[in-house]
Amino acid sequence: MIDLMQKLLKLHRGLLQLAKQKTEAIKKSDVVTLQDMMNKEQTYVMAIRQLESERMRLLAHLHEEERTIRRYAEQLEETERATLLQLASDLSETIARLKEQNELNMQLLQQSLQFIHFTLDLMIPNEQDVTYDPKRTDELPPRSSFEAKT
């Protein structure tokens, strides 16, 4: 389990590094680099899923509600327990940082999309122009036959 948690931690730290690099690629509008990083990210995610399956297999002997690292660590000797719990803590911290970085990237992408839409709106003329068009059929409404002077 310790080896498995070390691998999970290493993969999540790699994802965190990729997320930071994605931030820079988004800032520079470097689509090619961004696509490359997303492909690398998929490799990390697949490896993490495989390790998570293995972790759950190791915890299968516990009742479903007790399948936690803390519960598993209770069965270990003191030194192994301390190591495993420290790895779990490091992994939780790394995942929290990864989540923050991904949220930042999402905000940057949304801002980029808003800017693109704004720019497109400026470049593409509005279909409902208020200028004169001889082909227009929507003339002024007919005047009333009753005209009152005030």
- Number of domains composing the chain: 1
Report yes or no: 87 and 10 within 8 Å, Cβ to Cβ.
no
Q: In the block, which residue shows the tokens 């759950």?
A: 56
Work out the burial of residue 133: count CB atoms within 10 Å of its CB; fewer than 13 is exposed, 13-18 middle, 19 or more buried. Answer: exposed
Domain membership of residue 66 (yes or no) is yes
Give the number of residues written for the chain. Answer: 150
Range of the domain at 68: 2-123
Reported as a single tens digit per residue, the pLDDT across 6-62 is 999 999 999 999 999 999 999 998 989 999 999 999 999 999 999 999 988 888 877
User: Has residue 131 been placed in a domain?
Assistant: no
pTM score over 0.75: no
Within-domain flag for 145 = no
* Mean per-residue pLDDT over the chain, rounded: 84
Report yes or no on 41 lying in a domain. yes
Which domain CATH number covers 8? 1.20.58.300
